[in-house]
Structure 1
Amino acid sequence: MSLADKEITGDLLAYDDVEAMGEEFYAQMWTDGLPVVAPTEDRVERMLGGRDGGEPLGTMPPRWRRTFVHHVAVNAVLAGCRAEYFPVVLAGVRAILDPGLNLYGVQGTTNPAGVMLVVNGPARLELDVNSGHNLFGQGRRANATIGRAIRLCMINIGGGLPVLGDMSTLGNPNKYGSCIAENEERSPWEPFHVERGFAAEESVVTAAGVTAPQNIAILSQDPIAILDGIAGALMSSGSNLLLFTAQPLVVIGPVHATHLARNGYDKPSIREYLWEQGTIEITGTTGTDGKAMREWKARCLHTEGDRELLRPAVTPDDIGIVVAGGQSGPHSAVLQPFNITRLVSVSVAV
């Protein structure tokens, strides 16, 4: 029986011994392997904050269990979330359940892809979601527990358990949970959510089905050197984008963003450059990889005479760009997407 199937009552897991509770949850496969907070009735009610726990949200793969707001609240408690984080967690679940994300593929694939959230708008500051130094790493409660709540939902509702539903060969650290915010204050361009049609004063969560960030360290202040470094990482040997038609996410650090903006680059021109220069030639490529490139990425394949050219995405607009990180060094990152995975943005309802 999964945690989603359990009836939560006041004395459900009223363990006096926290260690015993942790062992029971671990034995039942209701955790990610880390200690959890017992989802007692009082805690779940506080997390719900008066919301209708019976509101249906859809079905979550790979087990296709029905998902209700109450289930999400239980997992947010387990993850250690504060009640004020819950609107972001709930928006994140709505985003991952959108068919565009391809959660079934992300949950069940042998690929190391997982789910990452990007937070934009006032919620970033109100909840202290890290958008600066070490934003992919440890140290901030909001990032850690919001991302973890999404993962626990994927385990306890969706059934994404290693081998039993999650077939990832290697996995990656963001499978414990991954949540960042855009560093809007250090960005020279309009925020990511505004580009996607939302108002600047609106809080928005974007879900991405991606692998761990691949660091791009370019010391030069030359914008072409920076862009070439990012473009090369998009379609590097063995990367997902060599095989998959999807929407990648590029995180440009503030130092690189400053150099690019100073030289006249904005997000549209950056996307265009990456789309053009991220192209590789696959003429004469044979075998299983060649077959996959031509079939799985057919919409990204272009011919010029006898040459076969493979683009990183269908159009430049498919490349998501977020400015985030600290100003301590010249770093950016590419997050490789899983197949048929699109970036999905959802407004945060208070």
Structure 2
Amino acid sequence: MLIGRPLDPRANSLNLIRLILAFLVLVHHSWPLTGAPGEPGFAGDSLGGWAVAGFFCISGYLITASRWSHGLGDYLVHRVARIMPAFIVCLVVMVVVFAPIGYWVANGSLRGYLTTPTSPLDFLISNLGLKINHYDIAKTPLNVPYPGAWNGSLWTLYYEFACYIIVAVIGVFAFVRRSPWPVTVLFVLSALGHAKLNLLNHLTDANPDVDLLLRLLPFFLGGATVFVWRERVGIHWTLGVACTVASLAISTMFPGWGGQASGVFVAYATLWISTWLPQPKIIAKNDISYGVYIYAFAFQQLAAVFGVASWGILPFILVATVLTIPTAAASWLWVERPVMRRVRRRDHPAPKPVEQVRAG
């Protein structure tokens, strides 16, 4: 029996929630990027860590919905189109705008910028595959509280795309699509894997990719699990409240792994909030959260280059926010939305004129 209603893809505030989460990451980074002590956190993780968890929960729900409704080829085209063009443009902007400014401020000129390790070209080439192998460009940023990293937010995108691939693979099997239990079991296994990470580290030589993936995968599969149960368990306020309480309780009692173990509850609670949280129309039509996420750290570092880090946490956050929003909007309007519209037109081509149909 269905409890509540399935999530309405149009009547929700997920764009707003993602935007809030992106700004929480900006707020979180303000402590290390200014060198300020006393960063707030909850249940053994930072504000940014929980914000990223929320991103992965939402993504797990929406990406699984995309995989279940598309063939493998179309699904992969959509996922690459959504994440890669804006990411590549961001890398180019780091090299062409941010790093030259930081290099000039530190050295008084741009002499040697193109050849100083990590060279701009090396930064672009080595990071094109989403895995961030270099964070500095020509040894910049320098003379800041957190030197040597222009964009510390980008590391999660590699693991986000790894989650996309996992869903792409399991979606090939008909029995996975027919029953909610395979995805549910995968979620449980991923949570157990994170809880038993010390054991896995002995088997993987403490591979950092395993560590980071298992930190994020349970949240993604938590969202996926909520999706596969959608026809049996809809969104209802009683379950929303219960999941909120359960996720808070489990995370608090088991700070090392409780968040991942409650990934399904976190995902359900987030989706439930999206059913009643009001969302401005401009945000409903324009999703700038990805742009905020991929540019905020760089603007924070640029602000630090010019001494804004010494002004205090709140001014630092405000300056970075004012700088980030227009760039995020430009990324959405000029890169992300045009690419996605082109992909959707590919999925649903315009009908041919009658004359062409007859001639064909």
TM-score, length-scaled by structure 1: 0.27
Task: Choose 1 or 2 for highest CA Rg.
Answer: 2
Structure number with higher relative contact order (C-alpha < 8 Å, ≥ 6 residues apart): 2
Structure holding more helix per residue: 2
Structure holding more strand per residue: 1
